[in-house]
Structure 1
């Protein structure tokens, strides 16, 4: 079985994916890391030098490539499910189970505020109010895609281990 973790930035996809990987002994792959390794460029460098259209094309190609593997845990970028045929590709992949890691806006704001400088999408936002508005708008736009996941796990008020164990109990 492949497990695909979907959610907004800061929802814990990578951290939970790594913990889940330990619990069920499956390989963990972060799609952004995979793309960077294959392209020999960081995601910001790809956007800067080749543009978003190029990035979204290779993102789709690498998503399909990774989903051909068996027994992996895959963490997606927050926007991945929302572009092209990515969500349909995930939902139609053999033996693949998608999980939306749902976090509230206040929870995402508190997680992302200390990381703003390292997150190009939000680095320009000056205040918590701007960040709250930005996240709210994005979640509204993306919820259609996120909510197509096979399962939803609420992450608010839970630590990484508890969330990973909840996913294990849902799937195994």
Structure 2
């Protein structure tokens, strides 16, 4: 089974994915890290030097490569991954179990406000504009996120609680 975690940046995809993979005793991959490995450029640099369209094309290529693998794994996507190049349709394959890690806007703002330097899309946001920015993105991405096999709400839950909930869904 290929378990794919999707959701907005800051919802916990990478942390939960790593924990879940250890629990399931399978490999864990972070799509952004894999893109950095393939391109030998950080995500921030890719956005700055090559632009978002180049990044999204590379993201689609690397995602296809992973979904073609003949192994069990947990993969965390970037926040926008399902929204481009029909990536959400790739997640509909029979051997893919996709999970939308749904977080409230307040949870996301609290998690992201101090990470702006690491997140290319957030560089110019203060707390007020960040909340509006996230709300707009969630509205725009809602359709794609809700194509997931299952939805797990992450607000006020520990990583272990979320991983246990996902594991129960896989049984």
Could you tell me which residue of structure 1 aligns to residue 155 of structure 2?
156
2:8 alignment partner, SS class: coil
Rounded to whole Å, the distance in 2 between the matches of 1:125 and 1:26 is 37
Q: Structure 1: 5+ residue runs without aligned partners?
A: none
Rounded to whole Å, the distance in 2 between the matches of 1:47 and 1:108 is 22
Q: What TM-score, normalized by structure 2, do the two folds share? A: 0.96
Rounded to whole Å, the distance in 2 between the matches of 1:47 and 1:120 is 7
* Corresponding pairs, count: 170
Shift of 1:50: 2.0
Could you tell me which residue of structure 1 aligns to residue 85 of structure 2?
84
Rounded to whole Å, the distance in 1 between the matches of 2:35 and 2:119 is 17
Q: Structure 2: 5+ residue runs without aligned partners?
A: none
Cα 1:135–1:31 shift into 2, 3 Å: same
2:148 alignment partner, SS class: coil
Rounded to whole Å, the distance in 2 between the matches of 1:118 and 1:57 is 21
Moved over 4 A (4+): none
2:100 alignment partner, SS class: strand
Rounded to whole Å, the distance in 2 between the matches of 1:114 and 1:49 is 24
Provide the alpha-carbon RMSD of the alignment: 1.0
Shift of 1:49: 2.2
